[in-house]
Structure 1
Amino acid sequence: MKGRIYRRCHCVDHNRRPLGTNCPQLADDKHGTWSFAVDLPSLDGKRKTMRRGGFATKREAQAELKKVHERVDSSVKTDDRETVAQYLIKWLGEKRHTLKPRTLFGYSEFVHKRINPHIGTIKLEQLRHEHVVRLVDTLIEEGRGPSTIKSVLAVLRSALSDAVRHKRLTHNAAQHVQPPAYRAPERQPWTAAQAAQFLDHIHGDRLAPLFEVLIGTGLRRGEVLALQWEDVDLDNRILRVRRSVTDVKGKLVIGAPKTKASAGWVGLSTRMVAVFERQRANQGAERAMWGEAYEDNDLVFARENGAMLRPEYVLKRFHALSETAGLPLVRLHDLRHLAASLMLQNGVPLPLVSKTLRHSQVSITADLYGHLSPEAAHAAADALGGVLDAAAAELRSERAARRATDLRPESMV
């Protein structure tokens, strides 16, 4: 695969046929432009010739031909006409088999609305670090937040990493591009007293058992809404997380839990057992009222007719009840945060909290929920102060005993 370099022009003969390399004016070094042609390897064994022209000098043509050789020698696919947009759309198509629907939807939004409008027309093989830096600058100018830009970069970086792994590119142009500085706001979950106030306020509300289960188990919203009675074993006080529901463009999609580690079992307190028993009784009354029209999907928490609850409705109801209870508005996911914080504050070891929340690593639990609440901070400070006070008291006692010994009359010693 050596290739050849030649000079040609766009002159035509009297029949309007291109003269190409046969133009007599090519004897003049300033006439025409330089091109190269090279045969590329193909899967079917047939010859595939790549021709590129329009180079001002022979040296430029040689340099481009050399790049083609380097890519072929590295087993990297050569397609200098594919754009970033074309590649990303194809990449999304491949990802639909491995990503969860909501994740795929988020990736698609970033590709079509944030990446392709700005760098989509650039040839994939010509994408450089500087292009991605300019993309970040443009997103900042548009008023996009640091969190959004970080997510956009993560999607682009992932797509280009796949291109490198699949021998489509030699390097990842987004690998070393840094997003703007961002520090996630520290969220303060409710205290135990506020949680008790909320549960007391919503007593008798149809969704009260659902919210109490969120607080008392640390389950995610999608996991609770997809929970079925066959997953709940009240005799042995455990429930199994097997499914989760998400809302993708208005369509409820049931799939696997968030991570592999999320699919596991959770222990239930006697309080939670009572909540589930109350929910079963309430649901039995609704089933009897609806009769044959009841949609029995075996869901623990459902609409009055048995149909699945929509996540957005549950969130709106939670905020409405929080407001009437006079409590600060928090996310539904903060109830999971609350469960973790209360366990940690009451001496439950971090590894056990991590297992209860079904995190894949203890470090995730520590990063997400290991921060100090004011109560925990005061308790820790008091414990440290108590140790220092005890050590100081012991030191004073030893000194007093030593002085007493030194002051005794010699005859008494």
Structure 2
Amino acid sequence: MELFVHDQLASGRGHVTLRRCVATLSSALGDAVRQHRLAHNAAEYTSVCRPTKYERACWSPAQAACFLRYCTQQNDPLTDLYELIIGTGLRRGEALALHWADVHFDDHVLFVRHTLSNIDNSTPVFTAPKTKSSLAWVGLSDRVCAALRRQAERQPGRALVFTRRGGQPLRPEYALRHFHQLTAQAGLPRIRVHDLRHFAATTMLSSQVPLAMASKTLRHSTLSTTTEIYGHLLKHVALDAVRAIEIALAGADAA
């Protein structure tokens, strides 16, 4: 089994996928042992090391602005897709699955109903958002509304906000590959499209947007999810809390 694990990792199999394979195999072999069909479970003590935790990369506001400015100068067709993700913190699949029927310009909001995913890395399909809390309203700034209006002019008469020339959904891997090409051309650090969501989150929190409001905008299932992911940015929240107590006590003393 150790040789199997080594060969699978060497061939590029992901750690998470391989751990699930080994767990399933161990369960099946364990059942065979209990039924006296095998003498021992060869996978019982096989372990797959956890991969190094991904270190979230994040652009500064200046880098994000530089990227969007470069895309605009190039008249790139996906400029407004990246503008939407940066300006709202939507996940890539949610932005690609956005329908015009769910965009409400007068109210400056959109509603997330779907996400676009790949099945077998080949067929894009619409599925439910990541969590129940992901199915929610998201506010739109004037800048993002302007980007969406430009997109409506660029591709009129479509049900989806972002499509290929023939009206088919954009493939998630294409949006990522194209993003990497633009990033390299603009001379910016390489990050993932999903890291644009992290940019939105870190910008909100570092600008002292209340934690509950940021969590609601990101549509995390709980506040603890936000703090676990972005806890290193929340030092100002702790300071604001104790300063509020200090101000209250000072006010009481002065009364």
Q: Which runs of 5+ in 2 are unaligned?
A: 35-40, 244-255
Match of 1:153 in 2: 19
Does residue 212 (structure 1) correspond to residue 86 (structure 2)? The answer is no
Q: Which residue of 2 aligns with 1:259?
A: 131
Partner of 1:307: 168
1:245 counterpart SS class: strand
CA distance in structure 2 between the partners assigned to 1:362 and 1:156 by the alignment: 34
The residue that corresponds to 2:215 in the other structure is: 354
**CA shift for structure 1 position 319:** 1.0
Alignment map for 1:92-107 (pairs within 5 Å): none
Give the alignment partner of residue 114 of structure 2, picking from 243, 248, 270.
Answer: 243
Instruction: State the Cα distance separating 1:370 from its structure 2 match.
Output: 3.0
Q: 2:71 aligns with which of 175, 199, 202?
A: 202
Q: Would the alpha carbon gap of residues 233 and 168 (structure 1) be closer, same or farther in structure 2, given more than 3 Å must change?
A: farther
CA shift, 1:228, in A, is 0.4
How far residue 254 of structure 1 moved from its aligned partner, in angstroms, is 1.4
Q: Which runs of 5+ in 1 are unaligned?
A: 1-134, 288-295, 388-413
C-alpha spacing 1:158/1:355, structure 2 compared with 1 (3 Å): farther
Q: CA deviation at 1:177?
A: 6.8
- Measure, in 1, the Cα distance between the counterparts of 2:98 and 2:32: 43
Look up the equivalent residue of 2:63 and give its one-letter code. Q
Could you tell me how far 1:158 is from its partner in structure 2? 7.1
SS at match of 2:232: coil
TM-score (norm 1): 0.49
The answer to whether the 8 Å contact 1:139/1:149 transfers is no
Mapped to 2, the partners of 1:149 and 1:281 lie a distance apart of 44
Shift of 1:148: 3.0
Give matches, 1:264-343, under 5 Å. 264-284=136-156, 296=158, 298-343=159-204
Q: Per-residue CA shift, 1:325-374, capped at 9, x if unaligned?
A: 110111111111111111111112223222211121222222223334xx
Instruction: Report the equivalent of 2:52.
Output: 183
What is the rounded CA distance, in whole Å, between the counterparts of 1:233 and 1:158 in structure 2? Answer: 46
Structure 2 counterpart of 1:272, which letter?
Answer: V
AA matched with 1:197: C
Aligned sequence identity (%):
42
Please report the RMSD computed on the Cα atoms of aligned residues, expressed in angstroms.
3.3
> CA separation in 1, counterparts of 2:89 and 2:182?
19
Label 1:240 to 1:142 Cα distance change in 2 as closer, same or farther (>3 A): same
Q: TM-score, normalised by structure 2?
A: 0.76
Counterparts of 1:281 and 1:150 in 2: how far apart (Å)? 43
Distance change in 2, residues 1:156/1:302 (3 Å): same
Is the 1:147–1:182 contact (alpha carbons within 8 Å) kept by the matching residues of 2? no
Question: Aligned letter for 1:193?
Answer: A
In 2, the alpha carbon distance for the partners of 1:156 and 1:143 equals: 11
Mapped to 2, the partners of 1:248 and 1:259 lie a distance apart of 19
Structure 2 CA distance for partners of 1:231 and 1:156, relative to 1, 3 Å? farther
Question: How far apart, CA to CA, are the structure 1 residues paired with 2:148 and 2:44?
Answer: 49
Cα distance, 1:175–1:141 mapped onto 2, change above 3 Å = closer
The question of whether the paired residues in 2 share the 8 Å contact of 1:232 and 1:238 is answered with: yes
Structure 1 residues 279 and 149: CA distance shift in structure 2, 3 A: closer
Q: Deviations over 1:27-47 (max 9, x none)?
A: xxxxxxxxxxxxxxxxxxxxx
Q: Considering only CA atoms, is the larger Rg found in Structure 1 or Structure 2?
A: 1
Q: Say which of 219, 227, 234 aligns to 2:105.
A: 234
Supply the AA of the counterpart residue of 1:262. S
Shift of 1:176: 8.7
1:225 counterpart (71, 76, 96)? 96
The superposition leaves residues 148-189 of structure 1 with CA deviations (integer Å, 9 ceiling, x where unpaired) of 334433465479889x9xx9998xx88997542543131221
Q: Aligned AA for 1:218?
A: G
Q: Is the 8 A contact 2:15 2:50 kept in 1?
A: no
